[in-house]
């Protein structure tokens, strides 16, 4: 029931049961306390009878903390590593960095919430990748130039008491300008 190449004394950091298939799950193992910074990630599609390694394309010296499935696109995975976030659009067969202004930081937890990716880090608090719609979109099916739909935006304002001290109440102002995302076909991103 365990992967054959599981490192002895490695710590199971995450088990992510698939939302798409009851027989499937993902497992992240952390062995960095054993001086092994190898990334360990497996997938089972048969209730744990067999396991497939999903680390092709990952840095061989960056260990992993967490894996999460996307809530809307089957086969889309997010991976929290010791140095940031990776994303796979093909069920873990290949990975790419999801930088987008996130500093190089250990990512210990991930959650997909209301169409956003919430990133829990060490030392940098939380970070939110707003609106996963562009990342979830099949780019091959988009026209040469595409403007993704915008979502309603809310601006938060924090007030301070007149004489200083602790922050006061937080208030919102609906109707804040939304962010927009565009995509343009080019020889690099076909």
Q: What is the pLDDT, as a whole number, of residue 50?
A: 93
% of the chain residues with pLDDT over 90: 46
Residues in the chain: 190
| pTM of the entire predicted model | 0.80
Query: Residue ranges per domain, the chain?
Result: 1-132, 137-190
Q: What is the pLDDT, as a whole number, of residue 139?
A: 66
Is the separation of the CB atoms in 96 and 78 below 8 Å? no
Q: What is the pLDDT, as a whole number, of residue 123?
A: 75
DSSP 3-state of 140:
helix
Q: What is the pLDDT, as a whole number, of residue 83?
A: 92
The chain-wide mean pLDDT, for the chain, equals 83
Look up residue 107 and give its two tokens: 């990512």
Tell how many helices (H) and how many strands (E) occur in the chain.
1, 15
Q: What is the pLDDT, as a whole number, of residue 3?
A: 80
pLDDT digits (tens, 9 = 90+) for 130-189: 888 777 877 667 677 767 677 776 666 666 666 655 555 666 666 666 666 666 777 655
Pick the CATH number of 1-132 from 2.130.10.10, 3.20.20.140, 3.10.129.10, 3.40.718.10: 2.130.10.10
pLDDT digits (tens, 9 = 90+) for 69-126: 999 999 999 999 999 999 999 999 999 898 778 888 999 999 999 888 999 998 778 8
* 3-state secondary structure labels for all residues of 81-122: ECCEEEEECCCCCCCEECCCCCCCCCEEEEEEECCEEEEEEC
Q: What is the pLDDT, as a whole number, of residue 22?
A: 96
DSSP 3-state of 26:
strand
């Amino acid at each position: 029931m365990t992967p054959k190449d599981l490192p002895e004394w490695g710590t199971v950091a995450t088990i992510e049961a698939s939302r798409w298939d009851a027989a499937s799950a993902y497992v992240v193992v952390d062995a960095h306390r054993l001086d092994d910074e190898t990334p360990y990630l497996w997938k089972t599609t048969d209730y744990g009878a067999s396991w497939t390694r999903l680390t092709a394309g990952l840095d061989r010296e960056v260990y992993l903390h967490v894996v999460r499935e996307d809530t809307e696109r089957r086969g889309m995975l997010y991976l929290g590593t010791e140095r940031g976030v990776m994303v796979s659009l093909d069920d873990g067969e290949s990975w790419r960095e999801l930088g987008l202004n996130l500093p190089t930081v250990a990512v210990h937890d991930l959650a997909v919430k209301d169409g956003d990716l919430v990133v829990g880090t060490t030392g940098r608090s939380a970070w939110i990748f707003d609106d996963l719609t562009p990342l979830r979109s099949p780019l091959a099916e988009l026209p040469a130039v595409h403007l993704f739909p915008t979502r309603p935006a809310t601006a938060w304002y924090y007030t301070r008491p007149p004489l200083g001290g602790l922050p006061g109440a937080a208030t919102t102002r609906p109707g804040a300008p939304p962010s927009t995302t565009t995509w343009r076909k080019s020889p690099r991103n076909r």
